[in-house]
Amino acid sequence: MSEVLLKTANLRRTFGGLAANDNISLELRRGEVHAVLGPNGAGKSTLINLLSGDIAATSGEIFYRDRDITRLTPHERSLIGIGRSYQKTNIFPGFTVRENCRLAAQSREPRGARIFSDAAAWGPYRTVVDAALRDAGLVDVAERRASDLSHGQQRQLELAIVLATRPEVLLLDEPLAGMGHEESLRMIQLLRGLVASHAILLVEHDMEAVFSIADVLTVMVNGVILMTGAPEQIRSSAEVQQAYLGSEEADHA
Ligand SMILES: Nc1ncnc2c1ncn2[C@@H]1O[C@H](COP(=O)(O)OP(=O)(O)OP(=O)(O)O)[C@@H](O)[C@H]1O
């Protein structure tokens, strides 16, 4: 089996009296897309926020390889190889696509070592920026201003910005949100190209896309894991049908 990069043990987060995540134990492996499904309010965003460090766990642990990272800040997690995208765009609109990636690449350096004003200091980032642009399908628009990109290209730039931080783990929060069919297919193709070298956690409402790309699915309901399994197991589970997929299909009927 492939290498476990990120693992949680009995992770819990409460907001007042509500357990938004409770007893969450899961593993993200290199070479796998692990999708997290669940109805609105199930706790998916809370889980991503806990893994990225944007919110603190109430109890439980998060391990990166064998290191306990439960108390690390988001920046510290980014430095060791955990990258996340946000539902809300994280782009500098007045900068070019390439400049956005350069800034992200530079953020990997310890704070004192950053020299934003010196363009020559960006040289060492060229390789990683070029790779991020290539892997996110943006080579042809690298010199365009981010604000001039289409919605789908801006979502690709979100991905490029994360890739420029050289992560091994990608935490992707609704990367297909607001995309048309063609744009979604393009993004799925790009994600497929990244799987071999990364562990990918995907929160996404587009079921067709999720089932077309996920190797493992975790279904959450009311803050807890209902089931984790391969796509065919999830699809054929009566429990999952009842708790989630059935109601989703009914919603879209
Ligand atoms: N900052 C917060 N303060 C209080 N309650 C919160 C906070 N963040 C999330 N919650 C609550 O925790 C529960 C889980 O929310 P979460 O956003 O993680 O669900 P979700 O599965 O991502 O939903 P959606 O699919 O709608 O994005 C919800 O009941 C939500 O209202």
The helix-helix angle for 126-135 and 97-106 (nearest 10°) equals 120
15: Cβ below 6 Å to ligand 1? Answer: yes
Spatial neighbors of 111 by CB under 8 A, at least 6 apart, are none
Out of 1.20.950.20, 3.20.10.10, 3.40.50.1220, 3.40.50.300, select the CATH number for domain 1-81+167-253. Answer: 3.40.50.300
| pLDDT tens readout for residues 52-107 | 999 999 999 999 999 999 999 999 999 999 999 876 677 999 999 999 999 999 88
Dihedral, CA of residue 220, residue 74, residue 209 and residue 225, to nearest 10: -10
* CA dist 59 → 23, 55, 56, 84 (Å): 9, 12, 9, 22
- pLDDT at position 121, please? 58
Cβ of residue 40 lying under 6 Å from some atom of ligand 1: yes
Q: pLDDT category, 182, cuts 50, 70, 90?
A: very high
The domains of the chain are located at 1-81+167-253, 91-166
Decide: 46 in ligand 1 pocket, CB within 6 A.
yes
From the CB of 43, is ligand 1 less than 6 Å away?
yes
Report, as an integer, the average pLDDT of 191-206.
Answer: 95
The pLDDT of residue 253: 38
Whole-angstrom distance, CA of residue 204 vs CA of residue 6: 19
Rounded to 5°, angle at Cα 112 from 109 and 117 = 85
Give mean pLDDT, residues 224-235. 95
Ligand 1, atom 31, residue with closest C-alpha: 41
97-148 tens-digit pLDDT: 999 999 999 887 765 555 554 555 566 788 999 999 999 999 999 999 999 9
Mean pLDDT of the region 16-30: 97
Nearest Cα to Cα of residue 81 among 192, 167, 178: 167
